[in-house]
Amino acid sequence: MPSAWFESGLSGRLWPIRLKPYADELLTSWLVRLSRAYGMEARRFSASISRHPAFWNRDLDKGIYTDVLEVLIHSTATPLAQVVDTTFWGYRGFPAWQLYSSGVSPWLLSIGLRYGQRHRPWLQYCPYCLDDDPDPYFRRQWRLTFVTVCVPHRCRLLDRCEACGASCNIHQVSSDAHAITCCYRCQFDARRARAPRLANTADRYRLMQFQTLLIEGLHRGRYCLSRTESVSMEEMLSVVRQLGRLLSSRKHAVALRAGLCGEMGEPYFEPSFPSPRGGAVEVLSIRDRFPLTLLLAWWLDDWPDQFVAICAMAKLTVAELMSSLSNPPDWYEEAVSQVAHGRFAGMKFASYDTVRSSIDTSRMQQAL
């Protein structure tokens, strides 16, 4: 049996079964597939390749645990770059220093470790992607906070078992389960789930475009802010997170969400944080992050006019727009200055359309 080969002393050499990671496969997904190839539980497999007593109590996908990466490189004969690309270190535009955070790492869904167990919905999935895979695997991008939809299948992602509501703890799936896609608790196959399809509207298209640009920015290190300007992806992420805070956890967030949802024609939503002290977007479920990202995509569209218009409509102050940003990017400061000192500052607008009409008129006058 494969497990017998593995445990007979081959763990220190080139392994007889050397599965390679698929395109955009998540490190934990690759580890679970390897363990299943040897007919072993993921915890038992990890104990054989690492001396760390709490292997799965760490967020391995960050890529900061070099002992695990080194074993995989040498034992599976997989190139360093390919192994690193299963982690968030592999993204050129990801703020790598934030991966070392002892708490919630920005932009990564939190594993919510408690008593040695992962309690939060830390991994999302598209059931149609999994069903299309000859050998199902979980994507790296499915752990990113701003990723809420599957663009190829035009559907929302799921982050729990459709049958019992359990988180996708793929490392706890039994080795005798017929696929990695089975729920560790009830054995329901995620490939049978049905994800909500996206409506064919401008707002949904804008969301897909926003998500696509962010993912491309992670690979290139630059984000296309407009047709003529690209900015550092790290700067872009800091701004998006700041606006996400304003929409979810600041004192005026309720009024801000209500106003934006009303203008967009979207139902109002109240984010459900796991604790009263919680305020990080990374702990929210897909149910809350989807409408939140819809609003963010609208807010950041057609930069900077859309941003200025929405800030003016919501009567946001410079202090609110700059809070928590220790080193705001120049391009963001310039847009905020338009909110503070532009001809629209202090005026009372009836609606977003009124603001945009005023801004568009101003732009036309300046062009003449």
Contact yes or no for 296/210 (Cβ under 8 A): yes
Q: Are 43 and 176 in contact (CB under 8 A)?
A: no
Render pLDDT for 270-319 as a digit per residue (tens, 0 to 9): 999 876 666 789 999 999 999 999 999 999 999 999 999 999 989 899 99
Q: How confident is the model at residue 348 (pLDDT cuts 50, 70, 90)?
A: very low
Short-list 185, 192, 198, CA closest to 157:
198
Residue 368: pLDDT band (50, 70, 90) is very low
Quote the number of domains for the chain.
2
Q: Which residues form the domain of 249?
A: 202-363
If asked whether residues 341 and 239 sit together in one domain, one would say yes
Judged against a pLDDT cut of 70, whether residue 339 lies above it is answered with yes
Tell me what the mean pLDDT of segment 164-181 comes to: 96
With bands split at pLDDT 50, 70 and 90, how would you rate the model's confidence at 199? Answer: very high
Do residue 181 and residue 330 come from a single domain?
no
Local confidence band at 356 (pLDDT 50, 70, 90 cut-offs): low
- For residue 349, name the pLDDT band (cuts at 50, 70, 90): very low
Residue 29's closest CA among 112, 137, 122, 102?
137
Are both 182 and 206 inside the same structural domain? Answer: no
Backbone torsions φ then ψ of 270, nearest 5 degrees: -120, 110
CB 139 within 8 A of CB 129: yes
187 lies in the same domain as 258: no
User: Residue 10 domain-assigned?
Assistant: yes
8-state DSSP, 25:
B
Q: Based on the domain organization, do 252 and 338 belong to the same domain?
A: yes
How much is the mean pLDDT over the chain?
A: 89
In tens, the pLDDT along 29-65 reads 999 999 999 999 999 999 888 877 789 988 999 999 9
327: helix, coil or strand?
Answer: coil
Q: What number is the average pLDDT over the span 335-343?
A: 82
Do 211 and 82 share a structural domain? no
The pLDDT score that the predictor gives to residue 360 is: 52
Average pLDDT over residues 154-171: 97
pLDDT at site 104: 83
Q: For 320-338, what is the mean pLDDT?
A: 94
177 and 271 in one domain?
Answer: no
User: Both 184 and 220 in a single domain?
Assistant: no
Confidence of residue 346 (pLDDT cuts 50, 70, 90): very low
CB of 264 closer than 8 Å to CB of 274: no
Residue 347's pLDDT is what?
Answer: 47
Helices (H), the chain: 2-7, 27-37, 42-49, 66-76, 80-84, 127-132, 202-220, 233-248, 253-264, 286-299, 305-314, 318-322, 330-341, 352-367
User: What's residue 112's pLDDT?
Assistant: 82
Is residue 318 a part of any domain in this protein?
A: yes
What pLDDT is stored for residue 342 in this prediction?
58
Same domain for 341 and 252, yes or no, is yes
Whether residue 197 lies inside any domain: the answer is: no
**343 is a domain residue:** yes
**Domain for residue 97, yes or no?**
no
Kindly state whether residues 170 and 54 are assigned to the same domain.
yes
Same domain, yes or no: 30 and 118 = yes
Q: Place 355 in a pLDDT band, splitting at 50, 70 and 90.
A: low
Residue that wins the pLDDT comparison between 128 and 11: 128
Same domain (yes/no): 175, 285: no
Task: Choose between 21 and 103: higher pLDDT.
Answer: 21
